Amino acid sequence: MLLARNRISTPACVMFRRSALDAIGGFDTRVDACADYEMYLRVSRAFPVAFHGQMVAEYRRHGDNMSLDAPRMLRDLCAIMRRQRRLLRGDEARLDAWRQGRRNIREYYGDHVANRIRERVRERMEWGSVVADTLTLLVHHPRGLFAHVFRKTVTSVQKIYPPQEMDVQIDRAPALLVGGRSALNR
């Protein structure tokens, strides 16, 4: 189910009937980075979707790929998922898929944003984007932000006080749970 995970790697591998696009209103221009995914969700709600498994396109990744802009993807995908939520009342299977999809988006892109923040702080550069990315995480994936900060703090403490020298083992700290597991054991 597309709500749980977008398995369409690039718009080049999707074909639509023009009547289907017209029926759903085409691309939603309010969504910049993920208008294709938002459109796939609307099409799949209104029409049958098929998969044939044959390779029809190759996709080249480069520095200008929009999908590599993790903060932008996180913001836009979270906005899409918020709008999708309203359409799922009473459908528990789709709500479960939506929850899984929201979790996947937050974890995948949230981790990328956190790593980008860490790299820029380490290199002492682009402080404006560090602040902007931190705010993006705070708004769209606060649990992930705190998990990353917690892990970094624990790592720093362990460098100063190796675990064998401490009275308490940090790897068993129940302070922060992410997805039902200790953030340290991820």
pLDDT reported for residue 163 = 65
DSSP 161: S
Using alpha carbons, select from 125, 119, 126, 98 the residue that is nearest to residue 6: 98
Q: How far apart are CA 83 and CA 92, in angstroms?
A: 17
Q: How far apart are CA 45 and CA 83, in angstroms?
A: 14
Residues of the chain with pLDDT under 50: 169-186
Residue 181's DSSP bridge partners are 178
pLDDT reported for residue 80 = 92
pLDDT reported for residue 55 = 83
Tens-place pLDDT, residues 36-58: 999 999 999 899 988 887 888 88
Residue ranges of domains in the chain: 11-140
Neighbouring residues of 111: CB distance < 8 A, sequence distance ≥ 6: 144, 148
pLDDT reported for residue 164 = 65
Q: How far apart are CA 186 and CA 182, in angstroms?
A: 7
